[in-house]
Amino acid sequence: MHKCVLKPLKPVLSSCLHQSMVRSGAWSQLKDNMAAAKNRPPAEMGVTDALSPDPLAIDKIRHKIQAMCKLYSPEKKVHRLLQVCKQIYTIMEDHSGRLFGADDFLPMLTYVLAQCELPQMEAEVLYMMELLEPTLLNGEGGYYLTSAFGAMSLIKNLEEEQAARVLSSQTRDTLHQWHRRRTMQRTAPSIDDFQNFLRVALQEQDSGCTAKTLRVHPQATVEEVCSLCALKFCVREPEQYRLFLTTGGSSQQLTPDSHTQRIKAELHTRDAPDTFHFVYRRVDFQDTSSQANEANDANNANANTTTARPETQSDLSPKLSLSLPQSNIHSVSI
C-alpha cells in the first residue's frame, strides 16, 4: 500500500507542506530560530546534567535525519527516528553514568535538532504524525514522535533572549487532541464504503457469483450502473439483466431512476445495518437453492403424510416408509 500510494505522493506532499510553511512565514521563522538556538550553549537550552553530543555525533545524527527525510513509509521514518533518539539517549547515559527521564531528554533533543539545523524536520514530523498506523502510536514510536514534535515546537517558539524549556499549554493541548483523534477506536471502512465505489456481484444460473468493485459516481442511476455492469462483466444479453438489492434474505429489483450510492449511504447510516449486496442478474433468474429447499419441504411433507397413514389405515405395514433420493442442491452465495 505504501509503495503504491505514498511513494508517488511523498514528493507532492512534501512540496505542499514546504510551500504552506513558506507562505505562512513559519519556514523563515524556524530557520532563524534554529540559527539562534545553534549558537546558544546547552545550559540555555535546558540541558543541565547531561553532556551534549560532540560535533562528530551531531554530524552522524544529521545524516540519519537526512536519510529519514528521503523515505516515504511513515513506519520506516519512525524507525529511523527511534535510532536517532536512542543514539541521543546512549550519549547522555554514557557520559554521565546514570539514567535520564523524559524531562531531561526533551531539552537535549531540542538542542540536537537545533545543531543539525534541518528545518524540514517540521514537515517530516507532521507527515509521520498523520500517516503512521494508529496502533503504532501507543509504543516507543508514539513517544519519540511526540517528543520530536515538542522539540520542534520549542525551537519554533524560541524567544530571542530566553530559551523555552517547557512546552506551552497550547502545544500540550495540540498533542492531546492529535493523539485522541488518531488513536480513536473505529472500524476501518472497506473499499465498497467509499463514496465513489460500488461492489456489485454478477449472479449466473450455473456459475454462481463473480464480484467486482466498480467506480460509480454518487449521482449515477441504476440504469447507468447496469450499463457499466454489462460492460465490465461482458454480458451477452444486457437487456435481460437488472440490478437487485439483497438484504435480510430478501431481494428486490431497483428502479432504473434510483441511485445506488444514495441507497448504500442510507443502509450504512442505520443504527443496526443489515448485510446487503448489489446483485446484477437476469430478470428470469431462478434461485436453485430456493427451489431445492422448496422441494425438500415438499418431500418432507409427503414423507410425513405417508408415514402417518399406518396409524389410520391398517392395510399398510407400520414399518413402511417413503424413501426419496436427495435432490442435487446448487447453492449460490454472494
CATH number where 251 lies? 3.10.20.90
Is 230 in the same domain as 271?
yes
Q: Which residue has the higher pLDDT, 281 or 3?
A: 281
Query: Whole-structure pTM over 0.75, yes or no?
Result: no
Q: What is the pLDDT of residue 49?
A: 65
Q: What is the pLDDT of residue 332?
A: 38
Examine the pLDDT at 222 and tell me if it is beyond 90. Answer: yes
Q: What is the pLDDT of residue 197?
A: 80
Dihedral sign for Cα 216, 220, 222, 224, please.
Answer: negative
Q: Is residue 334 part of a domain?
A: no
Domain boundary among 182, 213, 238: 182
Mean pLDDT confidence for 110-121: 92
* Cell numbers 547515559: residue: 93
Domain boundary among 120, 148, 182: 182
Is 158 in the same domain as 195?
no
Q: What is the pLDDT of residue 167?
A: 63
Q: What is the pLDDT of residue 166?
A: 57
Q: Is residue 159 part of a domain?
A: yes
Neighbouring C-alpha atoms within 13 Å toward the C-beta of 52:
24
Mean pLDDT confidence for 233-238: 90
**CA 65, 36, 161 angle in degrees (round to 5)?**
135
Domain boundary among 133, 148, 182: 182
- Widest pairwise Cα distance in the chain: 115
Which of 31-35, 209-213, 310-314 has the largest mean confidence? 31-35
Is 122 in the same domain as 201?
no
Q: What is the pLDDT of residue 287?
A: 60
Q: What is the pLDDT of residue 225?
A: 95
Say which DSSP state 221 is in: B
Mean pLDDT confidence for 151-161: 75
Q: What is the pLDDT of residue 213?
A: 84
Is 9 in the same domain as 141?
yes
Residue 275's domain comprises: 191-283
H or E stretch including 242?
strand 241-247
Examine the pLDDT at 82 and tell me if it is beyond 50. Answer: yes
